[in-house]
A = this chain, B = another copy of it.
Amino acid sequence: MDFRGAHILSVKQFERSDVDRIFEVADTMIPYARREKITKALQGAILGNMFFEPSTRTRVSFGCSFNLMGGQVRETTDVKTSSISKGESLYDTARVISGYSDVIVMRHPQVGSVSEFAKASRVPVINGGDGPNEHPSQALLDLYTIKKELLSNNRQIDGMHIAVIGDLKHGRTVHSLSQVLSLYDNITFKLISPAELKMPAEIVSELKDAGHKVIETEDMEAGLNDIDTVYLTRIQEERFTTKLEADIYRGRFRLNQSIYTRYCQPNTVIMHPLPRDSREEANELDNDLNQHPSLAIFRQTDNGVLVRMALFALVLDVAEKVDDTARDVGWYTQGRF
């Protein structure tokens, strides 16, 4: 695809070569994200960081990524303070906000809302999550992390075995990740969830149609056998009608040191899109794994900055210009990474 001026709405718009290109650019962002260098590539540019649904992590990650490229960020964090609550259409909001910004990141609770918004926008729009539907930058950072983690053990994504665990029905993260993994060859998916929270049938079909092997199970221990990557998720409480309904499933699948030792391979990469629910009744991913070298969850969020910088660089066509204005960082940064 031609990234210049493009919207990033869905992982479905990517071919494998597009993903390769994003990751190639992400790699060039490492010195900036690690505060070895700063750049002014986007000095004077404005990101409209429009979050019409609560978020700290994703919102701050996009904002920092834009700042690290030299740009400014204007944002909104609350739908109630917005014109949408006064009956404004997404068309109008998009026409207006795109007059203020050079690129827009948007999160919105309604499926399809970000695409609708993008149609009316005069500048590139990046989907920061539209309800239970898509969250492409998360899928890309997950994939980038898997690639890097496997590579450090001389493995690769093609042919990998991955266990995906938890609320596979509501988790947009796992939907988007499955679809982008689908671009690779010969992957074995072990989908571990309560029967009621299974991966949507159409995604399973797509994976099978693309030549991958899919095993659906409620038996976590069996599912963990012989895998390269385990990807855990949170019960998406906000997608259930009541907290009580979510509680039925909370804590059903848990990974901790003893289960890991017993069922996983020594180098199985441990991932989670975060936030992980660390309350006792959930404890999806136990703190006793916090120092484990295969725990990649914080490398995931660090990688998110790289991938988001890459998306900005590509849609605004400055990937080749970032190093032109580079200079060394002048403040104390020791011990960060």
Complex: how many Å from CA A276 to CA B68? 36
Which residues of chain B come closer than 8 Å to A39, judged between CB atoms? 44
Q: Is the CB of B318 within 8 A of A96?
A: no
A317 within 8 Å of B (CB atoms): yes
| A40-69 Cβ-contact flags toward B at 8 Å (1 or 0) | 011111101000001111011101100110
Complex: how many Å from CA A330 to CA B317? 9
Q: Is the CB of A87 within 8 A of B336?
A: no
Enumerate 6 A-B pairs (CB-CB under 8 Å) in ascending A order: A42-B331, A83-B274, A83-B275, A91-B287, A99-B301, A317-B331
Complex: how many Å from CA A122 to CA B66? 21
Q: Is the interface of A mostly helix, strand, loop or mixed?
A: loop
Q: Is the CB of A316 within 8 A of B290?
A: no
Partner pick for A91 among B41, B97, B290, CB 8 A cutoff = B290
Q: Is the CB of B76 within 8 A of A67?
A: no
Which residues of chain B come closer than 8 Å to A305, judged between CB atoms? 99-100
Which residues of chain B come closer than 8 Å to A85, judged between CB atoms? 54
**A77 and B81 in contact, given A64-B101, A68-B44, A99-B298 (Cβ under 8 angstroms):** yes
Q: Is the CB of A335 within 8 A of B122?
A: yes
> 18 extra interchain contacts, Cβ-Cβ under 8 A, other than A5-B335, A315-B332?
A38-B43, A41-B331, A44-B68, A56-B82, A56-B83, A60-B100, A61-B100, A64-B74, A72-B72, A86-B237, A88-B274, A91-B278, A91-B290, A96-B274, A99-B301, A122-B335, A316-B332, A317-B332
